[in-house]
Amino acid sequence: MTASRTILAFAAAAAIGSGLAWSPLAARAQSSAAPTPPSAARDAAPMAQAPTSPSTGAPTVKPRSDAQVEARITQLHKQLKITKDQESDWNAVAQDMRDNARAMSSTINDRNGIKPMNAADNLKSYAQIADTYADGLKKIAPDFEKLYDAMSAAQKKIADTVFNQRINQRVRTTAAPAATANHS
C-alpha cells in the first residue's frame, strides 16, 4: 500500500466524528437511501462503488443525508456513553459533524454538476473534495480532543476501539483494489 493510501485510510477513519464516512479519493460513496447500520462492525462496512456518469465515466458520489449524519451522531453518543458533564463538549463535536457533512455535500454536489469533466477537471474536483475533507478534520480534531480528554478511562477505551475498527476497515477496503490489481 502506498503512503498516500495509508494516510487517506487513516484520515477517513479519523473522520469518524465528522459524519464523513467516505474516502473521496478512492471514489467510493454510500447511497443516501441506505440505512445506517446499528453496530460498529456493520458501520465500518465498505462503501458501495459509486455509479459512474455516462458522459464522463467519473464516479458520481452521493453525499450523506442529514438523517444519516444525525443517526451517526446518535450512535456515537450512545457508543461513547457521553455523560451529562460531557454534553457541552459533545455538542461541539456533533455540530462539527453536521457542518462537515454539509460542506462535503456542497463540494460533492458541485463535482456532480460538472459535465462533461475532462481529466484535469476531474483532478481539480477531487483536490477540492480532499481540501474540504481536510478542513473538516482540522475543525473537528481539537473539539474531539477536548471531549476525549474529559472522558473516563473506560470511555477512552471505547473511543479507541471504535476509531481503530474504522481505521482497520479503511485500510482493508482501500488496500484491497491495489492488492488484487494486475500491474503487468
Domain locations in the chain?
3-180
In a 13 Å sphere around the CA of 40, the CA atoms on its Cβ side amount to 19
Distant-in-sequence, close-in-space partners of 107: CB < 8 Å, separation ≥ 6? 128, 129, 132
Of 1-5, 13-17, 135-139, give the range with the top mean pLDDT: 135-139
pLDDT digits (tens, 9 = 90+) for 108-161: 888 888 778 889 988 998 999 999 999 999 999 999 999 999 999 999 999 999
Query: What is the DSSP code (8-state) at residue 45?
Result: P
Is residue 42 over pLDDT 80? Answer: no
pLDDT of residue 177: 59
Inter-residue contact 148 to 24 (CB < 8 Å): no
Tell me the percentage of the chain whose pLDDT exceeds 70: 59
Is residue 13 over pLDDT 90? Answer: no
- CA dist., res. 120 & res. 112, Å (int): 15
Distant-in-sequence, close-in-space partners of 51: CB < 8 Å, separation ≥ 6? 59, 60
Distant-in-sequence, close-in-space partners of 73: CB < 8 Å, separation ≥ 6? 19, 94, 97, 98
What's the predicted TM-score (pTM) here? 0.62
